[in-house]
Amino acid sequence: MAALRASKGALRKELKRRVVALSAAEKQRQSRLLSDKLFKHPKYISSERIAVFLSMDDEVCTEEIIKDMFKRGKSCFIPRYQSNNSHMDMLKLSSLQDLETLPLTSWNIRQPTEDCKSREEALSSGGLDLMLMPGLGFDLFGGRLGRGKGFYDTYLRRCSKHPKGKPYTIALAFKEQLCQKIPVDANDVVIDEVLYEDQ
């Protein structure tokens, strides 16, 4: 267990270093390319209820994806993380304007406040068809290295108990985030597909 933690820790450092080396223009170029790839993806086209992360500086930018979801009339769900544990909910966003009114967290990403009881949580209603996954690193066997808090792994296990089951998962990755093999353990949920440049 300790060896796995150590190898994940070392890999996180290396991946952060790789992404920091990318220029803003390059991150933007790859983000646009991946958004276009996703818009043509059969799973995206057929999915009605989609969970998407609000991107940080070191992640593929999801802004165009969120705009496209509203344009196509899809239901958009975004994460609300609890900072003191690994609990995350996926809450419904009603519009782009709604997104702009959300407060910023210490990570500088917008998220619904703890006290907003009126928002629909994906699993308390119709579940999810598709979940777009963030991460620091990915391999082509479905291995994903997150930030170590376990938010997505825990949430996907909750999804598997929903009548609809686990949504299809697509990771959005800069090509610099691809690894030969991500070290994984029993708690790590394997993802279905990684979208990256050069496929």
Residue 168, marked binder: no
Residue-level pLDDT at 116: 64
* Best CATH choice for the domain 2-195 from the list 3.40.1010.20, 3.90.76.10, 3.40.50.10420, 3.20.20.370: 3.40.50.10420
Residue 85 and residue 60 in contact, taking contact as beta carbons nearer than 8 Å: no
For 51-78, the DSSP string reads: E-PPP-TTS---HHHHHHHHHTT-EEEE
Q: Which pLDDT band, with edges at 50, 70 and 90, does 69 fall under?
A: very high
Residue 11 and residue 145 in contact, taking contact as beta carbons nearer than 8 Å: yes
The string of pLDDT tens digits covering residues 92-126 is 999 999 999 998 887 778 888 776 667 999 999 99
Residue 150, marked binder: yes
Domain residue extents for the chain: 2-195
Share of residues in the chain with pLDDT > 70 (%): 98
Residue 9, marked binder: yes
Residue 135, marked binder: no
Residue 146, marked binder: yes
Residue-level pLDDT at 90: 96
SS3 131: strand
Rounded mean pLDDT, 30-59: 97
Rounded mean pLDDT, 48-64: 95
Query: Which is it for strands 49-51 and 75-81: parallel, antiparallel or unpaired?
Result: parallel
Residue 123, marked binder: no
Residue-level pLDDT at 115: 65
The pTM of the full predicted model, rounded to 2 decimals, is: 0.93
Residue-level pLDDT at 199: 55
Residue-level pLDDT at 186: 81
**Mean pLDDT score of the chain, rounded to an integer?**
92
The string of pLDDT tens digits covering residues 164-193 is 999 999 999 999 999 999 988 888 889 999
Residue 143, marked binder: no
Rounded mean pLDDT, 134-138: 95
